[in-house]
């Protein structure tokens, strides 16, 4: 009996414990159900918000059941809040222009006439309750199951998207039209460029032909001048030399008549060459009659600082050497004779020469190149007067020699008076060849010594910089750079009276683009100007 009672009590306790566990489990289950419902509700609200943001609604239907349409479709159709949209609302909202097409597509879809297990896309317009027309995109699919099809899908308002697509397409079409216009323009430009290149080529060919003709004329005149003047110079020179020998009166009279005839022939040759050099087109040419010539008599003797001048004669032809030295004897000059330009350069380096008489056509180094290299020598050696003695009397050749750095040019045949005048001018010029001394001294005279030195140093800096810029612009074929450097250099040269620099710069204006030789000569002359300026500065009072 006691065992039975004990067993009953134990069973009651077990039952109570089980009841408590079951009650606790029920409470936990209800809490979990409540949490799940809450989470599901939160998820649904988030889904609805997401659908509203995306203007998207969902569609779902199981076999034999009604369609389940998400609440967002109500808002998309413009229905009153709280009203749930259904299929009839959708049909009523279809745009008249799209109704027949969409109804036919829907009938085919639900009749199973389209493929299952894949998406089908449809777009149409709907008219909202407020009259606004919107574009909807439907994406639907059928998934067959036992007893029928499960239909699911989405519907999205794509009005703004379609408008954006239309704008993009319009921009693309505009861009394509602009591109086509650009391509047509490029074609026309290419054709125009080709035409301009053809015309430029024709112009270059024409200019080349003109230049070739001009060069041929210049070469012919130079050759004719050289071939004629050289022997005439020898004849007249030997007459001058003969005059210094013992002659009886009859011989003197005969020599005077021969000298007059020779001088007349020289003047006639000069006139022929000058007229041929000036005439560009054939036509009627009238040569001026040669003036009456007189024999060179009674020429004064030359002096430099009270002494006999020291002259360097550079000529490779012995007859010319005899002619020139005979005239220099007549003029009371000391002289040395060399046979080519390289020897003349070596003698010039010694710096003890007053003037160089430089032939042009010589072996080893011609007179023009020798002049250019002499002008690059430092100090007085590089500034020595150089008088070109040339049989090439045409102006273009003389201009070339002047650019090379020659002080003056004498055309063969040379008479004693002409040689006297050229040498006298060279001795008188000295510093004035490079500077107008009065202008230079006036620029410095009113300044104290320190300020004068500072001003001169600035002049040196500017001349070095600008002559370098001029040379660099010539190398680069930069016409505007040449113009700027020339303009600034002329201003500085004129302020200090650097006349030689001014003359060379003025001469460079006749060419669109100066050549390399002129640029090199300008740099050399700039150095000579600076050296001469230092000499003048040392002589300035105070």
Q: DSSP readout, 519-531?
A: HHHHHHHHHHHHH
Confidence band, pLDDT 50/70/90 cuts, at residue 87: confident
Mean of pLDDT values over 286-307: 55
Confidence band, pLDDT 50/70/90 cuts, at residue 395: low
Separation of alpha carbons 516 and 186, rounded Å:
39
Q: Is the pLDDT of residue 122 over 50?
A: yes
The residue with greater pLDDT, 330 or 426, is: 330
In DSSP notation, 220-248 reads HHHHHHHHHHHHHHHHHHHHHHHHTS---
Of 13-17, 27-31, 408-412, the range with the lowest mean pLDDT is: 27-31
Separation of alpha carbons 184 and 170, rounded Å:
21
Separation of alpha carbons 393 and 268, rounded Å:
13
Mean of pLDDT values over 74-102: 90
pLDDT at 371: 94
18-73 confidence digits (pLDDT tens): 777 777 777 777 777 666 656 555 555 554 555 555 578 989 888 888 888 888 88
Q: Is the pLDDT of residue 286 over 80?
A: no
pLDDT at 293: 40
pLDDT at 257: 78
Which residues partner with 153 through β-bridges? 59, 140
Confidence band, pLDDT 50/70/90 cuts, at residue 285: very low
Mean of pLDDT values over 464-475: 91
Confidence band, pLDDT 50/70/90 cuts, at residue 535: low
Q: Over pLDDT 70: what percentage of the chain?
A: 82
**Contact residues for 293 (Cβ-Cβ < 8 A; gap 6+):** 259, 260, 262, 263, 264, 266, 267
On the 0-12 / 13-18 / 19+ scale of CB atoms within 10 A, 216 is exposed
Residue 75 burial (CB count, 10 A) = 18
Confidence band, pLDDT 50/70/90 cuts, at residue 347: very high
Contact present, 354 and 305 (Cβ < 8 Å): no
**Contact residues for 385 (Cβ-Cβ < 8 A; gap 6+):** 354, 355, 356, 407, 408, 426, 427, 429, 433
What one-character DSSP code corresponds to residue 378?
S
The three-state DSSP-derived secondary structure of 463-485 is HHHHHHHHHHHHHCCCHHHHHHH
173-202 confidence digits (pLDDT tens): 888 898 898 888 889 888 888 888 888 888
Mean of pLDDT values over 482-497: 91
pLDDT at 370: 96
Confidence band, pLDDT 50/70/90 cuts, at residue 252: confident
Angle among Cα 156, 160, 166 to the nearest 5 degrees reads 120
The residue with greater pLDDT, 500 or 378, is: 378
pLDDT at 42: 55
Dihedral over alpha carbons 405, 410, 416, 421 (to 10 degrees): -50
pLDDT at 295: 41
pLDDT at 280: 46
Of 160-169, 274-283, 475-484, the range with the lowest mean pLDDT is: 274-283
209-229 confidence digits (pLDDT tens): 888 877 777 667 666 666 676
């Amino acid at each position: 009996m006691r065992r039975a009672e004990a067993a009953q009590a134990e069973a009651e306790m077990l039952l109570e414990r089980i009841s408590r566990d079951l009650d606790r489990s029920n409470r936990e289950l209800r809490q979990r159900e409540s949490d799940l419902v809450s989470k599901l509700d939160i998820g649904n609200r988030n889904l609805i918000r997401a659908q509203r943001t995306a203007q998207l609604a969902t569609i779902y239907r199981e076999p034999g059941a009604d369609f389940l349409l998400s609440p967002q479709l109500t808002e998309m159709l413009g229905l009153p809040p709280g009203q749930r949209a259904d299929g009839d609302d959708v049909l009523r909202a279809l745009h008249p222009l799209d109704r027949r097409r969409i109804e036919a597509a829907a009938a085919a879809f639900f009749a199973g006439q389209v493929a299952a297990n894949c998406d089908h896309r449809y777009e149409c317009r709907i008219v909202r309750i407020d009259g606004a027309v919107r574009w909807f995109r439907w994406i639907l699919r059928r998934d067959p199951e036992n007893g029928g099809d499960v239909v699911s899908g989405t519907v999205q308002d794509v009005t703004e998207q379609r408008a954006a697509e239309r704008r993009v397409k319009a921009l693309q079409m505009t861009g394509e039209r602009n591109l086509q216009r650009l391509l047509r323009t490029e074609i026309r430009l290419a054709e125009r460029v080709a035409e301009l290149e053809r015309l430029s080529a024709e112009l270059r060919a024409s200019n080349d032909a003109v230049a070739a003709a001009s060069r041929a004329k210049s070469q012919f005149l130079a050759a004719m001048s050289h071939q004629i003047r050289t022997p005439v110079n020898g004849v007249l020179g030997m007459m001058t030399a003969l005059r210094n020998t013992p002659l009886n009166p009859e011989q003197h009279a005969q020599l005077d008549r021969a000298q007059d005839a020779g001088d007349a022939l020289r003047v006639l040759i000069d006139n022929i060459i000058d007229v041929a050099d000036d005439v560009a087109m054939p036509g009627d040419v009238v040569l001026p009659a040669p003036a009456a010539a007189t024999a060179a008599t009674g020429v004064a003797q030359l002096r430099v600082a009270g002494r006999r001048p020291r002259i360097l004669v550079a000529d490779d032809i012995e007859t010319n050497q005899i002619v020139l030295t005979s005239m220099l004897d007549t003029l009371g000059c000391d002289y040395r004779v060399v046979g080519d330009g390289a020897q003349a350069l070596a003698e010039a380096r010694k710096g003890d020469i007053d003037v160089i008489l430089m032939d042009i056509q010589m072996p080893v180094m011609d007179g023009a190149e020798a002049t250019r290299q002499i002008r690059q020598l430092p100090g007085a050696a590089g500034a020595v007067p150089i008088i070109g003695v040339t049989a090439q009397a045409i102006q273009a050749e003389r201009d070339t020699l002047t650019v090379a750095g020659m002080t003056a040019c004498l055309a063969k045949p040379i008479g004693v008076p002409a040689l006297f005048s050229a040498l006298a001018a060279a001795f008188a010029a000295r510093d004035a060849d490079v500077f107008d001394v009065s202008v230079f001294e006036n620029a410095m005279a009113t300044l104290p010594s320190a300020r004068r030195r500072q001003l001169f140093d600035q002049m040196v800096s500017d001349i070095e910089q600008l002559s370098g810029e001029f040379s660099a612009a010539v190398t680069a074929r930069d016409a505007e750079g040449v113009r700027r450097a020339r303009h600034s250099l002329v201003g500085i040269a004129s302020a200090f009276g650097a006349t030689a620099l001014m003359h060379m710069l003025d001469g460079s204006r006749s060419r669109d683009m100066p050549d390399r030789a002129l640029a090199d000569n300008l740099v050399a002359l700039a150095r000579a100007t600076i050296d001469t300026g230092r000499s003048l500065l040392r002589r300035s009072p105070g």
